[in-house]
């Protein structure tokens, strides 16, 4: 089943920069797709367009059979719940515990105060603790998020995103701030945790070798246009 479809998407920023030009592609459930391309090629614009963090200038974006690029208000909020986000700089709430950060995924951005005040369901707490266990962070649940290493912070980011029960995870340079060993751990966990749950992954990456190692498909962007959209094997053959 197709979970995300871009159909002739273009984005022109108000400064006149044409960041995406007639971009079309599809992603199916459980696929692991990397976007590669030089700095400025439109990778983050593409990711931000998926859940309408920016409005597109032209084309359509279909998420889980609904045209998110036309949705507003409550419909848009419900659609955005299907999209988990992983950031280069983790975006955790550093004054809160690891467990509270993970529970935020379930409570959503609209009801963050409930998480801060400790209002959550016992079953959610158990699920969050199980996720932390799966990510090797069982002993850190009650630590402050601020006290973790970079790799541990990103594991919390993964737990929070999965707690949201997303259909697709958008990962914007998820390993760009990490040392090679933590980067490998994070890519392994992203791949295994999403595969197990049939969640699609769309990952912006700088490193071609990482994209080749982990992806079922690679999308190559250059100056806002798709230059390549095929398996890693065929990328090697094309080069
Ligand atoms: P939109 O067309 O989606 O509304 P804007 O062009 O209004 O986007 O810019 C959104 C924000 O990004 C503004 O605050 C702007 O200052 C900032 N911005 C402008 N140029 C760049 C750039 N080259 N890279 C990143 N951010 C930028
Ligand atoms: P990448 O993620 O591949 O580095 P981006 O999507 O950030 O590429 O940027 C694509 C192009 O759009 C660049 O020329 C960048 O300067 C420009 N750009 C990005 N964000 C904005 C913005 N908010 N406003 C104006 N221009 C932007």
Average pLDDT over residues 194-202: 97
Q: Which two tokens stand for residue 54?
A: 């920016």
Q: Residues with Cβ < 8 Å from 104, sequence gap 6 or more? A: 93, 96, 112, 115, 160, 163
Instruction: Measure 204 CA to ligand 2 centroid, in angstroms.
Output: 14
- Give residue 113's pLDDT: 59
**Ligand 1 binding pocket includes 236 (Cβ within 6 Å):** no
50-83 pLDDT tens trace? 999 999 999 999 999 999 999 999 999 999 999 9
Average pLDDT taken over every residue of the chain: 93
16-62 pLDDT tens trace? 999 999 999 999 999 999 999 999 999 999 999 999 999 999 999 99
- Give residue 221's pLDDT: 96
154-180 pLDDT tens trace? 999 999 999 999 999 999 999 999 999
Say which residue the tokens 């976007």 belong to. Answer: 35
**Ligand 1 binding pocket includes 54 (Cβ within 6 Å):** yes
101-124 pLDDT tens trace? 999 888 764 455 555 556 678 899
Q: Which two tokens stand for residue 170?
A: 């958008």
The Cα–Cα gap between 232 and 121 comes to: 43
**Ligand 1 binding pocket includes 14 (Cβ within 6 Å):** yes
Atom of ligand 1 nearest to the CA of 14: 6
Instruction: Measure 21 CA to ligand 2 centroid, in angstroms.
Output: 13
Q: Which two tokens stand for residue 21?
A: 């030009």
Which residue among 13, 19, 172 is best mutated to probe the pocket of ligand 1, counting the most ligand atoms within 8 A of its Cβ? 13
Band the pLDDT of 152: cuts 50, 70, 90. very high
- Give residue 110's pLDDT: 43
- ipTM above 0.85? no
- Give residue 114's pLDDT: 57
Q: What share of the chain is helix, strand, coil (3-state, %, to 5)?
A: 45, 25, 30
- Give residue 165's pLDDT: 95
- Closest residue by CA, ligand 2 atom 21: 13
Atom of ligand 1 nearest to the CA of 54: 3
How is residue 174 annotated by DSSP? T
Atom of ligand 2 nearest to the CA of 54: 23
- Give residue 107's pLDDT: 72
Say if residue 93's pLDDT is above 60.
Answer: yes
Among 163, 167, 143, residue whose Cα is nearest residue 153? 143
Band the pLDDT of 206: cuts 50, 70, 90. confident
Alpha carbon separation from 125 to 160, 195, 224 (Å, rounded):
12, 23, 42
Kindly report the pTM of this predicted structure. Answer: 0.88
Band the pLDDT of 237: cuts 50, 70, 90. confident
The Cα–Cα gap between 186 and 213 comes to: 13
Say if residue 141's pLDDT is above 70.
Answer: yes
Instruction: Measure 17 CA to ligand 2 centroid, in angstroms.
Output: 8
**Ligand 2 binding pocket includes 109 (Cβ within 6 Å):** no
The Cα–Cα gap between 110 and 104 comes to: 10
Instruction: Measure 40 CA to ligand 2 centroid, in angstroms.
Output: 6
**Ligand 2 binding pocket includes 55 (Cβ within 6 Å):** no
Of all ligands present, the nearest one to the C-alpha of 14 is: 1
Question: In degrees rounded to 5, what are phi and psi of residue 223?
Answer: 50, 45
> What DSSP letter does each residue of 3-47 carry, written as one string?
EEEEEEEEEE-TTS-EEEEEEEEEEETT-EEEEE--TTSSHHHHH
Provide the sign of the torsion angle of the four alpha carbons 80, 35, 233, 61, taken in this order: positive
């Amino acid at each position: 089943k197709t979970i995300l479809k871009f159909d002739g998407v273009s984005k022109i920023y108000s400064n006149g920069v044409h960041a995406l030009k007639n971009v079309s592609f599809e992603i199916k459930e459980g696929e692991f797709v990397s976007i590669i391309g030089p700095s400025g090629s439109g990778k983050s614009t593409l990711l931000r367009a998926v859940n309408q963090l920016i409005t597109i200038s032209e084309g359509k974006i279909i998420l889980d059979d609904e045209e998110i690029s036309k949705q507003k208000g409550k419909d848009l909020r419900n659609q955005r719940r299907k999209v988990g986000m992983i950031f280069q700089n983790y975006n955790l709430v550093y004054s809160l515990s690891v467990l509270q950060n993970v529970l935020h995924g379930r409570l959503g951005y609209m009801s963050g105060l409930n998480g801060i005040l400790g209002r959550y369901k016992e079953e959610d707490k158990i699920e969050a603790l199980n996720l932390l266990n799966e990510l090797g962070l069982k002993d850190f649940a009650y630590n402050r998020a601020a006290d973790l290493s970079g790799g541990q912070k990103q594991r919390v980011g993964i737990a929070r995103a999965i707690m949201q029960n997303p259909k697709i995870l958008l990962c914007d340079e998820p390993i760009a701030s990490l040392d090679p060993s933590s980067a490998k751990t994070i890519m392994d966990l992203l791949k295994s945790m999403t595969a197990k749950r049939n969640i699609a992954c769309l990952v912006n990456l700088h490193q071609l070798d990482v994209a080749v190692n982990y992806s079922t498909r690679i999308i190559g962007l250059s100056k806002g246009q798709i230059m390549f959209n095929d398996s890693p094997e065929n990328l090697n053959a094309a080069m």
